[in-house]
Amino acid sequence: MTVLVRALVLTAAALALTACAGHSSGPPEGFTRLADVAPDIVQEIRYHGEHNFVGRPITGYDAPECWLTEEAAQALAAVQADVTAKGYSLKVYDCYRPQRAVDDFVEWAEDPADDVTRGEFYPRLAKDQLFPLGLIAAKSGHSRGSTVDVTLVPLGSEASPPWVVGDPIVDCAAPVGMRFADTSIDMGTGFDCFDPIAATASPDITAEQRANRELLVSAMEAAGFANLPEEWWHYTLADEPFPETFFDAPIG
């Protein structure tokens, strides 16, 4: 092998290693794909696409898949069995979140000029309030693999209709029929609504919305999940297996 050919081979190998470095070969050890455990749970992974508070796909979401620790996935499957008997299905918006995605959120939060999604996701807050209020943080329980953002949809429902850049931006706390046409039952706000009314026990929601939230809370708590009081959609497995570990493998 000539010196030139050898150099070309080594360069090609180095480029191949560089290209593969950022890609995942599957869930981390101790994790599983939710579709392999509970394939009937609807998945609408918002951070893989453009319909989220950043307004673009998020770093680390290379595929629209829900990954969870095996324990959390099995617990969520138990919730699905419970709510199915009542005429509903779970729908997940986000599950495991790589640390690089959290870093992407932080970088976005520090750029005051990037404010295009405010009209839907934080219409009553200035962007520079999101970090001080804890709505965006440098670490997330999602990165430990046992936290899930979830709602209830009527049994037989699918993911929401696609949203693309250029579609109307409507206040996430607007009434059903005005805000984004999510397939979720009426929880009082859309997903990732940075507004006090998104607090699970908000006094400013209707009796129907309260009953819907309580139905979700009851089913999730029965399977060992605890709700984050500030967000009706956010739940963490109480007995999570990796309480101190923040994973960074990209989803894909």
Q: Percent of the chain scored above 90 by pLDDT? A: 87
pLDDT digits (tens, 9 = 90+) for 144-189: 999 999 999 999 999 999 888 888 899 999 999 999 999 999 999 9
Instruction: Check pLDDT > 50 for residue 10.
Output: no
DSSP 108-154: HHT-TT--TTHHHH-TTS-GGGTTTTTSS-SS-GGGGT-EEEEEEEE
Between 74 and 3, the more confident residue is 74
Nearest to residue 164, comparing CAs of 6, 52, 26? 52
Domains located in the chain, CATH noted: 28-237 (3.30.1380.10)
Mean pLDDT of the chain: 91
Q: What is the pLDDT of residue 168?
A: 87
DSSP 36-63: HH-TTSEE--GGGSS-SSSSSPPTTB-S
User: What is the model's pTM?
Assistant: 0.90
Instruction: Check pLDDT > 50 for residue 3.
Output: no
Query: Catalytic residue numbers?
Result: 231
pLDDT digits (tens, 9 = 90+) for 47-101: 999 999 999 999 999 999 999 999 999 999 999 999 999 999 999 999 999 999 9
Q: What is the pLDDT of residue 173?
A: 97
Q: How many CA atoms lie within 13 A of 252 on its CB side?
A: 17
| Both tokens assigned to 212 | 């819907």
Instruction: Check pLDDT > 70 for residue 198.
Output: yes
User: Which range, of 14-28, 190-204, 224-238, averages the lowest pLDDT?
Assistant: 14-28
Q: What is the pLDDT of residue 7?
A: 38
Q: What is the pLDDT of residue 23?
A: 56
